[in-house]
Structure 1
Amino acid sequence: MSSCVIASDLAHAAYCPRQLYYARRDDDRAPPPTVHEIRDLALEYPTLLAADDGELADRPLATTPTVYRANLRRIRERDDWAALSNPDARNVLLTGKDCRGIAHKLVGDPPVPSLVSPGTPPERGVWEPQRVRVVALAKALSWEREAAVEQALVEYPAVGVVRTVRLTTRNKAAYRRALRIARELDFVPPRLRDSAKCRGCTYREQCGVKTRSLRSRLGFG
């Protein structure tokens, strides 16, 4: 396997190593068609802010029109409001020393990568798989530009929220853990036990495959 890991694989690794195993086995990384409809919202923030309830009701939002417009007004207060809707570059393949992946946008000057998520955010910050993935994109952009990139963005256009992810010591440590898992994974990892993650996993129906212990894989079991 190439030492340059796909950034989306790091997200799987951070969520559950077994999920990464299934994604690689099935070569299943393409998002469903509905994801593109939601991601398109991230290029229409000014238009959506001005839209009435009827117009917003026809769009794939995950909240009410009233809440959605309030959230967009908060984004409008950001310095990068104009760049978020009209980015300098879209769907850019970034290749770094350790990872490569698609940044859905490059925002600002100097640019930072943005990942546009079809889901909804936690109450604060971003989900760990997305944190790890945008840190990988920021590191790849830094490698390409030979300049420090200290933050990245995760957008949740279905609810009109944008979160900043800074390359803190904690976030870089999470990235390194996921990178190590992605590089070393060459067998079916153990299943998570009684985890809420399993309920939202794409592979939950096929995750009944019995895992083999290290002892049995070495021929002693």
Structure 2
Amino acid sequence: MADHTFRELETAAYCPRKLYYRRRDGPPDVPAEVERIRRLAREYERLLTDDAALLAAPVEPDPATVRERLRAARDRLDEWDALADPAETDVYLGGKDARGVAHKLVATDSGTVPSLVFAGRPPDQGVWEPQSVRLVAAAKALSWERERAVERAIAEYPAYGVVRAVAVTARRSGQYRRALRVAESIDGPPARADSDAKCDPCEYRESCGTRTRSLRSLL
């Protein structure tokens, strides 16, 4: 069995110290609001046609923007029908190096690809690096199970109406391998961060002891 979960590798890419605390304390429960947002990824067609459902949905931009983005994704993606109504959901994948759950397996012309649903805000383009690591982990695990190349994954941000295909490039694979090395090397608390840029949303920010630098020290 693979030693690391998709989430562990995502956390390793975000902050090794956070991964240490997660391993010590166990993974947190998934908040109810996150589960509610994830369910939206199975209601795209309803959100496109049912005004009341869209108005009641936990979306972040205005509902009209979310619907416009979903329409654009429907027109752009050849695999839209399989994405909106996937044959397989919440599928456990056990790869050579990592294991975890793909929220959807989506049939495409080039073969089945994994899709992961993220509750947060997407970047202006592409995906955040820790999420890229998680997507590559899912693609490689599916490749290991199906014994065929899986060269893409899909990232869904349903609260924003954003769906993006992500290619498993050499650069993304390199980020994945770095996260693997980090996860394998942790046997005690990693060094504290020099910046608190990633700390505000972290559940360990009050107890981590992250070292931050004052404006005077930076000058």
TM-score, normalised to structure 2's length?
0.91
Tell me which residue corresponds to 2:215.
none
**Could you give the per-residue CA deviations for residues 14-72 of structure 1, whole angstroms, max 9, x where no partner exists?**
000001011111112432111110000000111101122x5423111111011111101
Structure 2 counterparts to residues 136-175 of structure 1, below 5 A: 136-175=137-176
Q: Report SS of the residue matched to 2:103.
A: strand
Deviation at 1:114, TM superposition (A): 0.5
CA contact (8 A) 1:192 1:198 kept: no
2:61 aligned to which of 60, 63, 68? 63
Q: Distance in 1 between matches of 2:44 and 2:187?
A: 43
Moved over 6 A (4+): none
Q: Report SS of the residue matched to 2:160.
A: coil
CA contact (8 A) 2:192 2:210 kept: no
Tell me which residue corresponds to 2:189.
188
How many residues align? The count is 208
Gaps of 5+ in 1: 211-221
**Could you give the per-residue CA deviations for residues 172-217 of structure 1, whole angstroms, max 9, x where no partner exists?**
000000000011111101121223111121211111279xxxxxxx
**Could you give the per-residue CA deviations for residues 97-150 of structure 1, whole angstroms, max 9, x where no partner exists?**
111010000001411001100111000000111100010110000000000000
CA contact (8 A) 1:62 1:159 kept: yes
CA contact (8 A) 2:13 2:130 kept: yes
Tell me which residue corresponds to 1:79.
78
Tell me which residue corresponds to 1:114.
115
Q: State the percentage of identical aligned residues.
A: 52
Tell me which residue corresponds to 1:198.
199
Name the stretch that deviates more: 64-73 or 188-197.
Answer: 188-197
Q: Distance in 2 between matches of 1:106 and 1:148?
A: 15
Q: Distance in 2 between matches of 1:209 and 1:124?
A: 29
Q: Distance in 2 between matches of 1:108 and 1:185?
A: 37
Amino acid at match of 1:50: T
Amino acid at match of 2:167: R
Tell me which residue corresponds to 1:93.
92
Structure 2 counterparts to residues 124-139 of structure 1, below 5 A: 124-139=125-140
Tell me which residue corresponds to 2:33.
34
Amino acid at match of 2:58: P
Q: Distance in 1 between matches of 2:2 and 2:140?
A: 15
Amino acid at match of 1:184: S
**Could you give the per-residue CA deviations for residues 144-180 of structure 1, whole angstroms, max 9, x where no partner exists?**
0000000101100001101111110100000000000
Gaps of 5+ in 2: 212-219
